[in-house]
Chains A and B, each alone.
Chain A
Amino acid sequence: MQVTLDGYIVDATGAADWVDSWADGLELLPQVDTFVLGGGMFPDYERFWAAILDDPDAAAEWLGREPYPRELTYARVAAETPHLVLSTTLRHVTWPTARIVRHVDDLHVVKRQGGNAAYVVGGPGLLHSLVNFGLLDELRLIVHPVAVGAGTPLFGGVAERQAPELLRTEPARAGLVDLTHRR
């Protein structure tokens, strides 16, 4: 997940203009079997990545630049990898590999299957559910060098104190720090 130094995932206007590319989260992971997402963010997510795949002009307009090669890679990987979308209200998804699940318990299945990592793309509601239900094993944060003062805090809905263990802290390009904790 990409987060500001003061712990927000989007600012008060709902924007995250400090994020260079939404593909960057995936780059922290070696091999992903499943993508897991919350229903709130999914409609935008599938529109965005579908545009990257099928309509580069629309994507370029959206981004204000040409898509990066790593974004094309993300879109291709995402198009081939199962997506589980946790939502009680979403009725319909168009992403070819996506499936809606209604309860966080349904995500236990992913963990029982074992294999490689399941990548939690976001958003905050899903993250809080995973943390609160004890389903999150590892948390990789990309910490951006900016304080935005207000917005949606990454950990706002965490109900109980969590005490993970620090695995790594690594500087990344452009003043970013990758912080990895595990449960």
Chain B
Amino acid sequence: MGRVVISENVSLDGVVQDPTGEEGFRHGGWFSQFGERDREAWVKVEFDEALRAEAMLLGRRSYEYFAARFRSRTGEWADRLASMPKYIVSSSRVDTDWGNSTVLEGDVVSEVAKLKQELDGEIVVYASRALVHTLMEHDLADELRLIVFPVVLGIGDRLFGETTDKKPVRLLDSGTVGDGLAYLTYGLL
């Protein structure tokens, strides 16, 4: 049985929009809000997570975004991401040229439920805001890992959607990444 782990970088007010400033959002680029030591620590957390993970689960836009940036990169982290099985939720055509990529074309909820049955270990979700909302709303996510950047934006698309019910979560761990980023992990089920 696979476990779906949502792993996200968020601002202190929960915004996930345009972290690198490439999409023209007025407050984009907040991701660079950290020093060199924090960046190294951040890379290590992300790399360790990728090593532990069994597979990646992404929305189409996030897949294309990461594929465009990692495909040509070399190094342990890029190699690991390239070789890891990747599942893409999309109803339209996707260029699956990042290696080991499979498109899930059917109903998201049943496809992800099936994937959880078939796989063992962690299925990590990066970015993919719309997919995250669906996973949360349908209780398909098992764990939430938030790296909280020390920045408040006031506006922007937020990680958490408008859920119909209050959703209690369970604190698993809290700490920091480097000195400047808070790291909070929650169990969802």
**Interface positions of A (Cβ within 8 A of B):** 5-7, 11, 131, 143, 145-150, 153-166, 169-171, 175-177, 179, 181
Contacts and interface: CB of A to CB of B under 8 A. Distances in A.
Interface of B: 12-14, 27, 30, 33, 136, 148, 150-154, 158-171, 174-176, 179-184, 186
Nearest to A180: B182
23 contacts: A6-B158, A6-B160, A7-B13, A7-B14, A7-B160, A145-B170, A145-B186, A146-B167, A147-B163, A148-B166, A148-B167, A149-B163, A149-B165, A149-B167, A155-B12, A158-B13, A161-B151, A161-B153, A165-B150, A166-B150, A169-B176, A177-B171, A177-B184
B182 A166 contact: yes
A147 B136 contact: yes
A161 B186 contact: no
A162 B13 CA distance: 11
A147 B160 CA distance: 8
A132 B133 CA distance: 31
A13 B33 CA distance: 35
A181 B162 contact: no
Given A158-B154, A159-B154, A169-B176, A149 B162 contact: yes
A149 B150 contact: no
Given A7-B13, A146-B169, A150-B162, A163 B150 contact: yes
Contact of B166 (A147, A155, A176): A147
Given A169-B176, A177-B171, A149 B13 contact: no
Nearest to B152: A162
Given A161-B153, A164-B150, A175 B179 contact: no
Contacts of B154: 155-161
A5 B170 contact: no
Nearest to A148: B166
